[in-house]
Structure 1
């Protein structure tokens, strides 16, 4: 479908290699947390991979999103971390995820799309190269479920904005991801609500309707840079369970995309998949693997482990009590979790802390939570963390500490734990893919 352009970005080069039959793909880090990004940068440096970092439309937008950052702020932030840690900027690619009317669904469609055009313009002008056009959500005056024609027309409209913005800014034209069967960002409330595996005929119809919409909007050149489509391969998670990849269930879908030159699938909600399942996904042309909540879940696990260590080393009156500070912040402002976590107060308390959907990721930037984390790090840095306590609470980090490859400082331990998750994705997208012996299993972690 897509033609070769003279100068290929890292994204295009890797996906072109994938379509030549090489066992390669891209992993996409969807997080704005500094420790997550530091961990991802270190893995990219260690394993020699490009780093694709994506911001979501509710996280970063023209009004600041929930991070308080506009697109140009996010770019400066990520590039600053990359420069500090020594990652060449040509190895860093920024992407925008779920860009469309997501944040303005309560408005009439015309108003929501007006905001979406500004969103797209600002992302592209700020240098975001990989643009996921997601107009699959209904607005206030829309039917409950949009048809493919409406989704495609709105996506083509936004692609036209992106093309013009890149040209006006003197930037390379973006690459695009399309698709209407988009998993819920951050995981399902229940796996029973998850989408079934996309049918090949549905994927073919979506692709053709989008092609027609791009042509009708005068965006033939932009269509040549549609690199991926989001479909549902049967991979998802909810608060406590993971649906692992079943290659046989998605075999027809994989065969379909193999017949579409230049196109791959982008897999959302791959968090908590076994590494062998990630490898199988890449083999089956899900060449872009997105991960987000699993990274901040590892962050939370590490910080809670350090809090347990703090309880052993620090007098109660001096303790940071980070878990309590986090829960207090979540209860004081419940809008990010209340509609997602049902049950009794005790059940909600456990979900707030431990759910795989990891809604607590929205609260690490709260002033009281940041202060508690800083105090936790200072307490442990001042006292030092004894090896037996690392063994007890962060056992996966102990070998690297003993080998002298990892400092026993709080921040280094946290970054290493997050980096283990990132490294699984890096290996899955750079090494030969294998069949997953556990595919199809629903597990509770």
Structure 2
């Protein structure tokens, strides 16, 4: 991708940041249909040495993805596995050294499992520290993690993603008005301070494999708001890449961007487009629609059974939404189910939620959904007369988002 940018060619890749099996299957099926390499990334909260919220360690996640690939007939050699936000974030309430020791074990587990794209994210403060660390300390901790990754790597040499202005994982937690792009001088400072920190540990060869910098191109999403990319405002930032021919930018929080904005991001050097919550937002939309559709197919009005069950699951274990959703009871109810940040995604692996989804899909079975009924609950499909089952509709909902990204790269 850096070479393509230097040639003036348009080339990017979608980074699928999800551990949901339907999302991964949709990504692999689209990759197969369009002859693409597929980049799938697990975040430090989803997958870590303690199991994360999915219950999977990195080696388990690799096996999980490869099992789906085998089922759909996708060559696992064409899958790139990445680790996102690898650092102390899940343990930032601990004192800094304790949190970094957990981060050490985290990146060792990812490297040992053969993940070949590693995002080093040490920009956040831990207990007793500022919310955001200064560039020098961020780089020092990132180099520490890179040294551990180099010592534990298996298979191909990993490539690294670095940055000091990393958007909050999962979207903003406050109202949005405007988001300013990273200052161009910050790119030079970030690159140089990391280069020096890597060199201090004798990691020059590893630094040569830094392929991307995380910057803020001026995009973000919150509960109800989306800030779209403005290429003109980010022009000076994009121009800084000319000084770094082996590097591209990695754009986080690109969820819900307009198609033309995504294509403009790639054209302006943001060649790695990360998407996660939008995929599971589409999944949730489809599951709620299928729940209503199943009721209609059984001869009665929609009862909202799955939504009610998910409300019970989220209220029973509020840790994954309580600190993020604010306002009245009505406001937080809406946010639990419909926020763009989609924190309901943390709950689909829960046993009660998984059981409810399985029961829904069993109700629908392999029946072809009559087109007029399908049109009521999936109007975006138009009058497509191809036969579709409930599972087809679920995969289609996620695939439609992935196609927006694939068309942009």
TM-score normalised by the chain length of structure 2: 0.96
Moved more, 371-380 or 126-135: 371-380
Alignment partner, residue 121 of structure 1: 108
Counterpart secondary structure, 1:248: coil
- 1:266/1:286 contact within 8 Å kept: yes
Are 1:333 and 2:307 counterparts?
Answer: no
Asked if 1:248 corresponds to 2:243, the answer is no
2:69 to 46, 61, 82: 82
- Answer whether contact 2:174 2:222 (CA < 8 A) is retained: yes
Q: SS state of the match for residue 94, structure 1?
A: strand
Alignment counterpart, residue 364 of structure 1, candidates 348, 352, 373: 348
Change in 2 beyond 3 A, CA 1:137/1:196: same
Matches of residues 25-424 of structure 1 in structure 2 within 5 Å?
25-166=12-153, 169=154, 171-192=155-176, 196-314=180-298, 321-381=305-365, 384-400=368-384, 402=385, 404=386, 407-424=387-404
SS of the equivalent of 2:118 reads strand
Counterparts of 2:224 and 2:302 in 1: how far apart (Å)?
34
The 8 Å contact of residues 188 and 194 in structure 1, kept in 2 or not, is answered as no
The answer to whether the Cα contact below 8 Å between 1:265 and 1:286 also exists between their aligned partners in 2 is yes
Unaligned regions of 5+ residues in structure 1, if any?
1-13, 430-445
Using the TM superposition, give the Cα deviation of residue 384 of structure 1 relative to its aligned residue in structure 2, in angstroms: 4.5
Question: How many Å apart are 1:106 and its aligned residue?
Answer: 1.2
Measured on the aligned residues, the alpha-carbon RMSD in Å equals 1.8
Query: How many residue pairs are counted as aligned between the two chains?
Result: 409
User: CA distance change for structure 1 residues 319 and 382 in 2, over 3 Å: closer, same or farther?
Assistant: farther
User: Unaligned regions of 5+ residues in structure 2, if any?
Assistant: none
The alpha carbon displacement at 1:396 in A equals 2.5
Equivalent-residue separation in structure 2 for 1:19 and 1:409 (angstroms): 45
- Asked if the contact 2:122/2:138 (under 8 Å) is kept, the reply is yes
> Alpha carbons of 1:345 and 1:89: their partners in 2 closer, same or farther (altered >3 Å)?
same
What do the CA deviations read for 1:3-38 (whole angstroms, capped 9, x no partner)? xxxxxxxxxxx4433333211111100000011111
Question: Which segment is superposed worse, 388-397 or 275-284?
Answer: 388-397
**Helix, strand or coil at the partner of 1:252:** helix
Distance, in Å, in 1 between the alignment partners of 2:292 and 2:332 is: 22
1:18–1:25 CA contact under 8 A, matched in 2 = no
Q: Give, in whole Å, the separation in 1 of the partners of 2:299 and 2:129.
A: 58
CA shift, 1:344, in A, is 1.1
> Which one scores higher on RCO, CA 8 angstroms, separation ≥ 6?
1
Partners of 1:146 and 1:246 in 2: CA distance: 28
Cα distance in 1 for residues equivalent to 2:28 and 2:176:
36
Deviation at 1:376, TM superposition (A): 1.3
Q: Deviations over 1:37-77 (max 9, x none)?
A: 11111111111111000000011001101100000000000
Closer/same/farther in 2, CA of residues 317 and 302 from structure 1, 3 Å limit = closer
Contact 2:291–2:302 (Cα < 8 Å) also in 1: no
Cα shift at 1:320? 8.3
CA distance in 1, matches of 2:200, 2:351: 49
Q: How many angstroms apart in 2 are the aligned matches of 1:113 and 1:328? A: 35
Structure 2 match to 1:428: 408
Whole-angstrom CA distance in 2 between matches of 1:318 and 1:340: 30
SS in 2 for 1:246: coil
The 3-state SS of whatever aligns with 1:67 is coil
User: Residues 315, 389 of structure 1: CA spacing in aligned structure 2 closer, same or farther, 3 A cutoff?
Assistant: closer
Q: How many angstroms does 1:387 deviate by?
A: 1.4
* Structure 1 residues 292 and 194: alpha-carbon distance in aligned structure 2, compared to 1, 3 A threshold: farther
Conserved? CA contact 1:319–1:376, under 8 Å: no
Task: Evaluate the alpha carbon distance shift between residue 131 and residue 56 of structure 1 in structure 2; reply closer, same or farther with a 3 A threshold.
Answer: same
